[in-house]
Chains A and B, each alone.
Chain A
Amino acid sequence: MELLEEKKNKNRKYEPILEGIPDWPVYQLSKNRKEFIELVTQQSIIRIKALRPTRKQLIDDLEATAYREQNRIKRNRWRVDPKDDSRFWSYVKNELVELSSKDPETTGPIVDALLEKIVNRYANEIAGNFKPNSYRFTREVVKFWFQRLLNGARVKKFGAFFRNQYTLRDKIQVVGKVRMLRDLAKKGTVIMVPTHFSNLDSILIGWVIHAVGLPAFIYGAGLNLFNIKIFAYFMNSLGAYKVDRRKKNLPYLETLKMYSSLAIQKGAHSLFFPGGTRSRSGLIEKQLKLGLLSTAIEAQRNLYQQTPEGEVRKIFVVPVTLNYNFVLEAPDLIEDYLQVKGQDKYFPEQDKYGSMELLRFMFKFFTKGSNISVSIGPGLDVMGNYVDEAGNSLDPQGRIIDTRGYFISNGSITDDKQREDEYTRMLSQRIVSEYHRINRVFASHLAAFVAFEMWQKNILNWICSTCYACRKKTWNWTITNTARPLNGFEKGFTN
C-alpha cells in the first residue's frame, strides 16, 4: 500500500485556458463591483416586490426580518458581523414602529427606501472581493508552504524542508473528466457542485481549479469561515462571496439568489456546495439545497430570453466528489450528527476551530501517507442531460437536443417559477446520482465502516441481553443508520 502511494503521481500539469487575469469573468465582476451590487439590489427589489405584491405583506416581511435579525444579534454573534449591526437593525425597527402610526397612504416611499437599504446592505455583505494581486499572492503562498511542509514531512533526508521531491500534485489526485471541464469552461459558464465534508473543501477546490488551468470561480462560502482571519483572507482573494446560514429571511435569500444568478449570467464560473452544509454523518448528500441550484436554471432561462435567436452562452453543471482519508473536524461533525439524531432540536451554529487547529490538521495532513482524491464528473446541462465536449446537450440515445426547448411554452420562452422549481428538483436528483457514480471509496472508509458495523452489533447484543424494553427503540435507530458514517470513526484510526 505504502509503495503504491509513494509512486510518482501521473497527474499532469495543465496550461491555463485564459492567459491574463484581466480576462477572467470573476475579475470583471469585482472591477465593476459597485455597479454590480447596484444591479443586484435593484433586481432583488423587483423580485421581492413581485413575491410580496401588497404593501401590507411587504411590511410584514420587513418586520419579521428586523425581529429575526435582532434576535440573531442577541443570541448568536460572530466576529465577522459588522460593528454597526445592532444600530442598523434598531433603526429599521424604529422606522417600522413609526410606520404603524402613519397614514397608510404616505408610507409607500418610506417602505421602499427601507427595503432598498436592507437589500443594499445584504448585497454588500454577500458580494465577493476578488483582487488579482492577493489572488496571485495567495496562490504562491499556498503552493510554497504546502510544498515545503509536504517535503519536510515526507522526505527523510537532510534539508528535506527545501527539497522539491513532492508537490501538491502528488498529494491531491484529480481524476475524471478534466479535459472536458476545461473545454466546457471555454465554451460556457461552469457551475461546479462538489460534495462537502470539511471546511478545507473550499481551499482544496480552489487549488484544484487553479491546477487544471481554470480561472478562479466564485464561491458561496459560509460566513462562519470568515471568522477565522487567515481563512477570510484566502477566501476573499479566491473570489468567495458570503453565505450566512443564520439569515433565513426573505430579503436576504432573494438577494443571495439574485447575486448568484446575475453573476452566472455575467459568465462567472461558480461553485456551490449543494449539500448546503458539511455532511455531518459522512454520507454523501442525498437531499440537496435547491435555492442556489435554482439560480443556475433561472440564469440559463434569462440568457435564452435575452437572445431569442442564435447561439447562447450555455451553463454547465459539473458534479465533483471530494474524498479524504480523514476529516479535520470529524469529532465535531459527529457530535452535531448525534445531536440531531438524538431529536435535540437545538442546533448550535458555532465553529470552534481557530488557526491552531488548522495548523495541527495541516501537520497531520502532510505527515500521514494519505491522499485526497478529487473526482470530476461529466458535464451536465441545467436539465441534467449529459453534454459532449462541444457543449451540446445529448439525450440518452446520444442525439443532440436544444436546451432552449425546456423553457418554451406556447411557442415562446416563458417565466414559470413552478416549472423551474420542478426542474431544480430534477437537476438535484441527477447530481446526486452522479455523485454516487463518481465517488471513490478509500481503504480507511471501508475499515471505519466495517468497524462501525461490528461495534454496532456488539452494542446491540449487549443492549438486547440487558434491556428488553428499549430493544425496539435501538433497532429503529440502527436501521435508519445502517448506511452510515464513514468519516465518523476515522479519528480513531488516524491518531
Chain B
Amino acid sequence: MILSSTSEKPVGVIGAGNFGTVIANILAHSRKVLLYTRDEQTAVRIKSENQNKGYPLHANVEPVHDLQQIATQCDVLFPIVPSAHFRAMMRQLSPYLQPYHILIHGTKGFDITLPEGQSLENVTKLTRQQVKTMSEVIQEESVVVRVGCLAGPNLAKELAQRQPGATVVASHFNEVIQLGKRLLRNDRFQVYENNDIVGVEIAGVLKNIIAIASGALSGLGYGENAKGLLISRGAVEMVYLGRALGGDLKAFLGVAGIGDLVTTCNSPMSRNFTVGYRLAKGEKLPDILADMTEVAERCKHSAHCQKNVLIITKFALLLPTGCTKCFLKE
C-alpha cells in the first residue's frame, strides 16, 4: 500500500541519452528525478561530473543504475531508451512494476518481432501483429495499463538551451495526460494533449523516414520546391499509413505529426536528416554511422539505413504517391 502521495515521490527517467537527460532536467523543476543508466560506472561518472552528454545536470536529478530501486521509489516513469532495446528493458523492469505505475515513454520507433530465421532483409510481408508501438510493448510486457507517450518537435539541444518549444502527451487516460502536463509544462515548454496514443506514436516514427529523404534531397542539391513537395506528400503518406496502422488523422495534423515533420526535415541538427544528407553525398552508411556521435534513431540497430523504409513498404500497402523507398533510390 502506498500511503505517501505522488507529489512527494520522485519521478523516474529510464535511459540517460540526450533526450532522456534533457527530459530529466525539465522534470527536475517540479520533482526529484531518478535518472537510470544501465551500468554502474556511467551512473558514478554522471554523478561525479554532474553532467551527461554535455548537458549539466539539475540539482534534483540523481543518477541510479538499479531498475528495482527506480520502480519502487517512483510511481511515474519515463522510459526513453532506443526502440531496439525497449522490449528487453521492459522485460527487466516488468517484475518490479505494479498496476499503480504510470509509464510515459519518449521513444520513437517500432518494435518488430519476426519468426525464427527471418530478418527484415528477407521477410516478404509484415503484419500489424509483428509491428508494435512502444505503448503496446509496455502493455504486452507488464501489468501497467496507464501508458502515455511523449512526442513532438523536441530537439534535445534546443530544449536544453531553454528555447521555446512544445510537446504532446498522448494517452487513452485523461489522468495520464494531466499528470504529464503537470510534470513537464513550464514557461518555455508547452504541453498539448491527445488521446490517440497510437496515432501520435506512429506519427513520431514515420516522420523519420521523410526526414531521411529530406536530408537526401538537400544532399543532392535540390532546393525548396522539392522539399515542399516531399514534406506535403510525405505527410499525406504518413496519414494513409498511420490510419492503416490504427491511428487517427488528428494526431498527424498536430505537433507530433506536422510539427515534428517540419522540424526534422529542416534541421541539419536532426540525426535522420544528417544520415540522408550524407548518403546523398555518396558516403557509405557504415562510415556515416561510425563517426556520428548521435546516431539516427532508427539506424542504430540496423545494418541498413532503409530499415524504416523496408518496414513501411513491406506492409504491402499501395500508397497513392508511390513509396518513400523510391525517393531514396533516386
Q: Chain A residues in contact with chain B, CB under 8 A?
A: 308-309, 383, 385, 395-397, 399, 401-406, 408-412, 416, 418-419, 422-423, 426
Does A309 contact B175, Cβ atoms closer than 8 Å? no
Interface residues of B in 168-187 (CB under 8 A from A): 172-175
Would A401 and B172 count as touching, CB distance under 8 A? no
Q: 4 tightest CB-CB pairs across the interface, nearest first?
A: A405-B99, A405-B100, A408-B100, A406-B99
B100 cross-chain contacts in A, Cβ below 8 A: 405-406, 408-409
In the assembled complex, B225 has its CB within 8 A of some CB on chain A: no
Contacts A405-B99, A406-B145 given; indicate if A422 touches B172 (C-beta within 8 A): yes
CA–CA, A397 and B95, complex, Å: 9
| Contact of A410 with B172 at beta-carbon distance under 8 Å, contacts A309-B1, A401-B99, A403-B99 already known | no
Per-residue A-contact encoding for B1-38, CB less than 8 Å = 1, 0 else: 11111110100000000000000000000000000000
Considering the complex, which residues of chain B in the window 127-152 have a beta carbon less than 8 Å from any beta carbon of chain A?
A: 140-143, 145-146
Contacts known (A411-B75, A418-B174, A422-B172); A383 close to B99, Cβ less than 8 A:
yes
Q: What is the CA–CA distance of A412 and B6 in the complex, to the nearest angstrom?
A: 10
**Cβ-defined contact, B2 with A416, below 8 A:** no
A385 touches B143 (CB 8 A): yes
Q: List 27 A-B contacts (CB under 8 A).
A: A395-B143, A396-B140, A397-B95, A399-B95, A401-B98, A402-B98, A403-B99, A405-B100, A405-B101, A406-B99, A406-B145, A408-B100, A409-B6, A409-B100, A411-B3, A411-B5, A411-B6, A411-B75, A412-B5, A416-B174, A416-B175, A418-B175, A419-B146, A419-B173, A422-B172, A422-B173, A426-B145
Q: Which residue of B lies closest to A418 (CB)?
A: B174
Shortest A425–chain B CB gap in Å is 8
* A395 touching B142, Cβ below 8 Å: yes
Whole-angstrom distance between the alpha carbons of A395 and B3 in the complex?
Answer: 24
Task: Give the chain B neighbours of A418 by CB distance below 8 A.
Answer: 173-175
Contact B94 A397 (CB under 8 A): yes
B interface, size bucket = 20 to 34
Most chain A CB neighbours (cut-off 10 Å) among B7, B99, B174: B99
Give the residues in chain A near B98, CB-CB below 8 Å: 401-402, 405
Most buried by B among A395, A396, A410: A410
Chain A residues whose CB sits within 8 angstroms of the CB of B174 once the complex forms? 416, 418-419
Docked Cα-Cα span, A133 to B41, in Å, equals 76
Q: Which residues of A contact B75 (CB under 8 A)?
A: 410-411
15 extra A-B contacts, CB within 8 A, seeds A396-B141, A402-B99: A383-B145, A397-B94, A403-B99, A405-B99, A405-B100, A409-B6, A409-B100, A409-B175, A411-B5, A416-B174, A416-B175, A418-B174, A419-B174, A422-B173, A426-B145
Give a binary string over B277-294; 1 marks a CB under 8 Å from any A CB, 0 the rest.
Answer: 000000000000000000
| Consensus secondary structure, chain B interface | loop
Q: A405-B100, A419-B174 are in contact. Are A411 and B140 (CB under 8 A)?
A: no
Q: Considering residues B4, B5, B142, B173, which has the most beta carbons from chain A within 10 angstroms of its beta carbon?
A: B173
B interface residues (Cβ-Cβ under 8 A, vs A): 1-7, 9, 75, 94-95, 98-101, 140-143, 145-146, 172-175
A406 to B147, CA, bound (A): 12
Q: Is A410 within 8 A of B145, CB to CB?
A: no
A383 to B174, CA, bound (A): 18
The smallest C-beta distance from B73 to any residue of chain A, in angstroms, reads 13
Residues of B within 8 A of A412 (CB): 5
Residues in chain A near residue B3, CB distance under 8 A: 411
B84 CB to nearest chain A CB (Å): 22
A423 contacts across to B, CB distance below 8 A = 145
Closest chain B residue to A417, Cβ basis: B174
Question: Are B143 and A410 touching (Cβ within 8 A)?
Answer: no
Pick from B1, B95, B100, B143 the residue with the most CB of A within 10 Å. Answer: B143
A408–B146 CA distance with the chains assembled, in angstroms: 11
Q: How far is the CB of B148 from chain A (nearest CB, A)?
A: 12
Separation in Å of the A187 CB from the closest CB of chain B? Answer: 20
Residues of B within 8 A of A408 (CB): 2, 99-100
Contact of B7 among A308, A399, A404, A410 (CB under 8 A): A410
CA distance A422 to B175 in the complex (A): 11
CA distance A399 to B95 in the complex (A): 8
For A308, the chain B residues whose CB sits under 8 A away are 1
A397-B94, A410-B7, A411-B2 known; A419 vs B175 contact (CB < 8 Å)? yes
| Nearest B residue (CB) for A425 | B172
How far does the alpha carbon of A422 sit from the alpha carbon of B172 in the complex, in Å? 7
Docked pose: A259 CA to B94 CA in angstroms: 38
In the assembled complex, the Cα of A209 lies from the Cα of B95 at a distance in Å of 38
Chain B nearest Cβ from A303, distance in angstroms = 16
**Contact A401 to B175, CB < 8 A, known contacts A410-B5, A411-B3, A411-B5:** no
| Shortest distance between the CB of B111 and any CB in chain A (Å) | 16
| A399: chain B residues within 8 A (beta carbon) | 95
Please indicate the chain A residues that have their CB under 8 angstroms from the CB of B6 in the complex. 409-411
Name which residue of chain A comes closest to B140, CB basis. A396
Which residues in B have their C-beta under 8 angstroms from that of A395? 94, 142-143
CA A366 to CA B205, docked complex, whole Å: 60
Instruction: Give Cα distance in the complex from A412 to B140, angstroms.
Output: 25
If the complex has contacts A396-B140, A397-B94, A405-B100, are A411 and B4 also in contact, measured as CB distance less than 8 A? Answer: yes
**Minimal Cβ-Cβ distance residue in A for B143:** A395
Bound complex: CA of A146 vs CA of B146, how far in Å? 50
- Give Cα A401 to B95, complex, Å: 10
| Cα A408 to Cα B98 with chains together (Å) | 10
Q: Which chain B residue shows the least CB distance to A403?
A: B99
Chain A residues lying within 8 Å of B4, measured Cβ to Cβ, are 411
Cβ contacts under 8 Å, B146 to chain A: 419
CA distance A67 to B4 in the complex (A): 51
- Report the minimal beta-carbon distance from A47 to chain B, rounded to whole angstroms: 20
Which of chain B's residues has its CB closest to A399's CB?
A: B95
Cα–Cα distance between A405 and B144 once the two chains are bound (Å)? 10
Chain A residue with minimal CB distance to B98?
A: A405
Chain B positions within 8 Å of A411 at CB level: 2-6, 9, 75
Write the nearest CB–CB distance from B74 to chain A, whole angstroms: 12
A308, B3: Cα distance in complex, Å? 11
Q: Which residue of A lies closest to B9 (CB)?
A: A411
Tell me, in angstroms, the Cα distance from A113 to B174 when the chains sit together. Answer: 35
Closest Cβ of chain A to B206, distance in Å, is 26
Bound CA–CA A381/B174 (angstroms): 23
What residues of chain A lie closer than 8 Å to B143, measured between beta carbons?
385, 395, 401, 405
How far in angstroms is the closest Cβ of chain A from B182?
Answer: 11
Alpha-carbon gap, A480 to B23, bound state (A): 47
Residues in B with CB closer than 8 Å to A419 are: 146, 173-175
In whole angstroms, how far apart are the Cα atoms of A385 and B99 in the complex?
Answer: 11
A433 CB, min distance to chain B CBs, angstroms: 13
Q: Give A422 to B174 CA distance when docked, in angstroms.
A: 10
Chain B residues near A383: list those with CB within 8 A: 99, 145
B323 to chain A, nearest CB (A): 26
- In the complex, chain B residues whose CB is within 8 Å of the CB of A403: 99
Taking the closest CB of chain A, its distance from the CB of B75, in whole angstroms, is 7
Query: Please, which residues of chain A bring their CB within 8 A of the CB of B145?
Result: 383, 406, 423, 426
Residues of A within 8 A of B95 (CB): 397, 399
Instruction: Give the Cβ gap from A420 to chain B, nearest Cβ, in Å.
Output: 10
> Complex: how many Å from CA A412 to CA B2?
7
Once bound together, how far apart are the Cα atoms of A396 and B142, in whole Å?
8
CA distance A408 to B1 in the complex (A): 10
With A and B bound together, what is the CA distance between A408 and B4 in angstroms?
12
